[in-house]
Amino acid sequence: MSKQALIIIDIQNDYFPGGKWPLDGAEQAADNAARLLAAARQRGDLVVHVRHEFESADAPFFAPRSQGAAIHAKVRPEAGEPVVLKHKVNAFLGTDLQHRLDQHGVDALTIVGSMSHMCIDAATRAAADLGYHVTVAHDACATLPLEFDGKQVPAADVHGAAMAALAFAYAKVVKTDELLKS
C-alpha cells in the first residue's frame, strides 16, 4: 500500500483578492485544498506546506517576512505539520522536501496550490522525475492570465494547458471530489 502525502504549495495571502498578485479562482482552489487537507489529516497522511518567499524585500510579491507571504488561513498549518520554505519555483530545489518525504516512506503525492503553470508544474514534474506517484487536484490549483507574443491568454486556458501537459506524462490529474471519493 502506498504511503501518501498532501503537498500544499504557495497558498499564500498575496495570491488572494487584496494581495499583491491575485490569481483567478484563488478562493475556490483554496476551498478545495482545505477539503483535501481535512481529509488528509483525518487519514493521518503526512501534510507538508510549502511557502515561497523571494529573497529580496523589493520583490513584487511574497516579500520576506511579509503578511502577503504568509500561508492563507484556509489552509493554515497545524502544530507538527512541516512548512518548507522555498526561494525558487520548484519546491524540491534547494529545500529538504524530498528528505522529509523519504523520511516518512512516502511514495505517492497529491499536489495542490498555486500557480498552476509555475510552481505546481515544476513540483509535479520534479516529483515524478524523482519516482513519486503524483496526483494533482486541478480544481485545488489557481493561476492568472498571461501574455505571450502580443496575445492575452485567459487564466482558464493557462490552467488547462498546464494541467493537460501534466496529465500527459507526469501525473494523474483529477477533481477534488474524485479524490475525496477514493
Domain ranges of the chain: 4-181
Beta strand ranges found along the chain (DSSP E):
4-9, 46-52, 83-86, 108-114, 133-142, 146-148, 151-153, 172-174
Q: Are 148 and 157 in contact (CB under 8 A)?
A: no
How many Å apart are CA 82 and CA 45, to the nearest integer?
Answer: 12
Amino acid at 74: K
pLDDT above 80 (res 174): yes
pLDDT tens sequence across 115-129 = 999 999 999 999 999
pLDDT above 90 (res 182): no
Q: Are 140 and 176 in contact (CB under 8 A)?
A: yes
How many Å apart are CA 130 and CA 38, to the nearest integer?
Answer: 27
pLDDT tens sequence across 6-60 = 999 999 999 999 999 999 999 999 999 999 999 999 999 999 999 999 999 899 9
Query: For residue 50, what pLDDT is reported?
Result: 98
This prediction's pTM: 0.96
Q: In DSSP terms, which residues pair with 111 in a beta bridge?
A: 7, 136
Task: Tell me the CA distances in angstroms from 59 to 30, 53, 68, 72, 96, one per residue in order.
Answer: 23, 9, 11, 19, 24
How many Å apart are CA 15 and CA 51, to the nearest integer?
Answer: 12
Q: 3-state DSSP call for residue 12? A: strand
CATH number assigned to the domain with residue range 4-181, chosen from the 4 options 3.30.360.10, 3.60.15.10, 3.40.50.850, 1.10.10.60: 3.40.50.850
Mean pLDDT value across residues 67-71: 97
Query: Angle formed by the axes of helices 121-129 and 155-169, to 10°?
Result: 0
